[in-house]
Structure 1
Amino acid sequence: MNTAKERSIVTDLALAPEGHLKIDWVQAHMPVLNRIRAQFEKEQPFKGLKVAISLHLEAKTAYLAKVIQAGGAEVAITGSNPLSTQDDVCAALVEDGITVFAKYNPEPKEYKDLMVKTLETKPDLIIDDGGDLVSILHSERQDLLAQVRGGAEETTTGILRLKAMEKEGQLKFPMVAVNDAFCKYLFDNRYGTGQSVWDGINRTTNLVVAGKTVVVAGYGWCGKGVAMRAKGLGANVVVVEVDAIKAVEAYMDGFAVMPMIEAAKVGDFFVTVTGNKDIIRGEHYKVMKDGAILSNAGHFDVEVNKPELEALSVSKRTVRRNIEEYKLADGRKFYILAEGRLVNLAAGDGHPAEIMDMTFALQAMSLKYVNDQYESIGAQVVNVPYELDEQVARFKLESLGFSIDTLSAEQKEYLESWQEH
């Protein structure tokens, strides 16, 4: 099998026209990535190399794959969540010569098999989301490790997993922590998550947010964005934290702060965004109000404990697309959105294109960086070089038609001196 069409596993290639329209739309709103694509087409930094990508497979991700392909790479791509894959986008990518192993809502075993097939293309470089490709390479498919030069990681969860591997001496190649770059977490995590989470919740529930109590678990950059947008929609916001510094910050930002056992009593909407498990669990269900709506924006569907809710329930049914109703013996009903998976992607289209423009520009530039420097970097997790981070910001400003000041030689000297003050 020599062509992407012959190799790929997708739902329906006839869906490609709609997928092309989606990709064309985001491309028109991603000027930074367009600029990088032009550079890649000229320089061919990935010529002769294979790249495997695992990200939420929707239009913006598809365009990143096409940018990597434009740099000379042979690209294979899979999803990073069963419910965020868009079948029409997959079909369009296959038509564009990219190998795709992805379907919307496959069975758990098939979902895992599609990831493995992506790795069986024997990539030289990877782009990962949540550390799933890296985990499979280091556990089940070590036979594919030797060829991998390195890669880039998209998420907080993935970086936590990578650093744990590095600490134990298990990581076998360099990974760039894209999530820790300024142009990622300041904009993607905060503004992207903030907007897309509420897009997913609102389009799914069709309920008003104003006047209701929203409980946000976790006040990292993603949690800040979710809380900020909830406030903008007119909600009363409660923040749940385990970090005292972040809790004070939430208080200073104008939000109530309390433990989950107390927040559970007053919340109408719940959004978990911690990267940890069992944030909402059995003891909390016992005190929740009838009609509470539970959602998650963390990578894995473990933040809202579904098994414990099912154990307390006498019935479960789907009442609307992406809404499952759990009825307790006392008559209270709770609703989980998108199976407790990332609500912004499983029940929406993810972050706005202009936001992902910066993030995916960082991914593309970081992949080139790790390919150029993998031998000197070694098997460790490294940050995106500040120069690349700043370059993305400058490209973004230029695309907006903005310019900024620069320091004079005298000003630079003043800042670097301890004698002139």
Structure 2
Amino acid sequence: MNYHVKDLDLADKGKLRIEWAGREMPVLKQIKERFEREKPLKGIRLGACLHVTTETANLMDVLKAGGAEVALCASNPLSTQDDVAAALVKHYEIPVFAIRGEDRDTYYQHIKAVLDMNPHITMDDGADLISTLHAEYPEKIENVIGGTEETTTGVIRLRAMAKEGALKYPVIAVNDALTKHLFDNRYGTGQSTIDGILRATNRLLAGSIFVVAGYGWCGKGVAMRAKGLGARVVVTEVDPLKAIEAVMDGYDVMPMDEAAEIGDFFCTLTGDINVIRKEHFLKMKDGAIVSNSGHFNVELDLDGLKEVSREVRRVRENVDEYTLVNRKKVYILAEGRLVNLAAAEGHPSAVMDMSFANQALCAEYLVKHGKELKNDVYKVPEHIDRSVAEMKLHAMGIKIDKLTPEQEKYLSSWEMGT
């Protein structure tokens, strides 16, 4: 079996951590039990570019149980958990190409190693697998049934491809499932981002000014958790609707130019480029702490920051100190990459349970219906979204009401009125 991981001796530790995460992923467990019986992915080669974490490992196990031939690479150079990568190779016999801290060339070599399997289905977190396939291996696309995309940044890229007619096969936007973004993005990102910032800095949030750039579901989650720890939260936005929502949720809203002067902590969650630029860094307080929890590190203009810096040094694990030309110091966490994965362990497994359940069920859906779909970006089918919610409630021991026949008739009628 071809693979590239840091050290197979880490595998036993990784296996224990995978099992620990699996205890909080009951929906995936239910899907695995059915997949083992039915083998809906038999004969399917599935190439995945995801964060190599304990939760992802449980998803890979489910896909393999469903009959798929699976290969996995990292969707971010700093998100790989090396013990998990080793365990997947040694104990689960799944080819993995991922090493924490890999450079850009190695990162893309790993993506190409997954594409060498000639996948029928691609599974992405950020769309690097799909974009590389389209740009460098167009001859392999004819074998692809479809793909899935996990995160907001990737969905934005894929919709741009579809709009230009560049997307050559259908992709399901798992990120847009209600059982994904309402929970994973909000509660998962909220908790894990704060976790990463605190692990990296050990600084007190209470009484500080915490600037959240972007008030999508991820930004809402981070703002909620920062406020809960006693920070005064400031939101920056470009969307007037989201800005109004942030105001009515009780946050201060202002442009980044103004927020830069008062913030103690900054976190970008927009999916866009250069959200914090060199002119913002120069306005920051001495000692400001800057992080990113959007998919790519491009949200921070690190090249611009270097241009206005006199010195850079690593002062703690995952903390780089930039001494600016104005002699103030600014601290960048996790090299500007996903702070929740680089400085912590990513989302809790209980919330990833629903996200990855969508991934597994959408892979099954593509096998059955992929050839019927056009080359476009699709929402997760509603019946899949609802079934994931139902399985999660069942696993939590929670029951809900059902509509009576009279109620169903009322809701489907225009004649009954008041």
TM-score bucket (shorter structure): over 0.9
1:256 equivalent in alignment to 2:265: no
Q: Deviations over 1:55-74 (max 9, x none)?
A: 00011001100100000111
CA distance in 2, matches of 1:184, 1:78: 22
Structure 1 counterpart of 2:145, from 125, 146, 149 = 149
Q: Name the residue aligned to 1:134.
A: 130
Kindly state the Cα deviation for residue 172 of structure 1 after the two structures are TM-superposed. Answer: 1.0
Kindly state the Cα deviation for residue 320 of structure 1 after the two structures are TM-superposed. Answer: 0.4
| Amino acid in structure 2 at the alignment position of 1:218 | G
1:280 equivalent in alignment to 2:276: yes
Structure 2 counterpart of 1:51, from 46, 49, 61 = 46
1:349 equivalent in alignment to 2:345: yes
Kindly state the Cα deviation for residue 169 of structure 1 after the two structures are TM-superposed. Answer: 1.0
| Amino acid in structure 2 at the alignment position of 1:19 | G
CA distance in 2, matches of 1:228, 1:29: 23
Contact 2:212 2:268 (C-alpha < 8 Å) held by counterparts: yes
TM-score, L = length of structure 1: 0.98
TM-score, L = length of structure 2: 0.99
CA distance in 2, matches of 1:261, 1:49: 50
Q: Name the residue aligned to 1:359.
A: 355
Q: Name the residue aligned to 1:24.
A: 19
CA distance in 1, matches of 2:273, 2:392: 36
CA distance in 1, matches of 2:355, 2:152: 13
User: Which ranges of structure 1 fall in alignment gaps of 5 or more residues?
Assistant: none
1:207-222 alignment runs, 5 A limit: 207-222=203-218
CA distance in 1, matches of 2:163, 2:310: 45
Q: Name the residue aligned to 2:386.
A: 390
Kindly state the Cα deviation for residue 263 of structure 1 after the two structures are TM-superposed. Answer: 0.3
1:199 equivalent in alignment to 2:202: no
Contact 2:282 2:324 (C-alpha < 8 Å) held by counterparts: no
Further displaced range: 273-282 or 140-149: 140-149
Kindly state the Cα deviation for residue 131 of structure 1 after the two structures are TM-superposed. Answer: 0.6
Compute the RMSD of aligned alpha carbons: 0.7
Where 1:302 maps in the other structure, the secondary structure is helix
Runs of 4+ in 1 over 2 A off after TM superposition: none
Q: Name the residue aligned to 1:408.
A: 404
Where 1:146 maps in the other structure, the secondary structure is helix
| Amino acid in structure 1 at the alignment position of 2:328 | R
CA distance in 2, matches of 1:374, 1:237: 44
Kindly state the Cα deviation for residue 40 of structure 1 after the two structures are TM-superposed. Answer: 0.5
Q: Deviations over 1:221-264 (max 9, x none)?
A: 00000000000010000000011111110000000000000000
Q: Name the residue aligned to 1:125.
A: 121
User: Which ranges of structure 2 fall in alignment gaps of 5 or more residues?
Assistant: none
Kindly state the Cα deviation for residue 143 of structure 1 after the two structures are TM-superposed. Answer: 2.1
Kindly state the Cα deviation for residue 330 of structure 1 after the two structures are TM-superposed. Answer: 2.7
What percentage of residue pairs aligned between the two structures are identical?
A: 54
Contact 1:192 1:355 (C-alpha < 8 Å) held by counterparts: yes
Q: Name the residue aligned to 2:73.
A: 78
Structure 2 counterpart of 1:245, from 241, 248, 251 = 241
Contact 1:120 1:144 (C-alpha < 8 Å) held by counterparts: no
Where 1:286 maps in the other structure, the secondary structure is helix
Contact 1:292 1:334 (C-alpha < 8 Å) held by counterparts: yes
Q: How many positions carry a matched residue from both structures?
A: 416
CA distance in 1, matches of 2:358, 2:172: 10
1:8 equivalent in alignment to 2:32: no
CA distance in 1, matches of 2:89, 2:72: 10
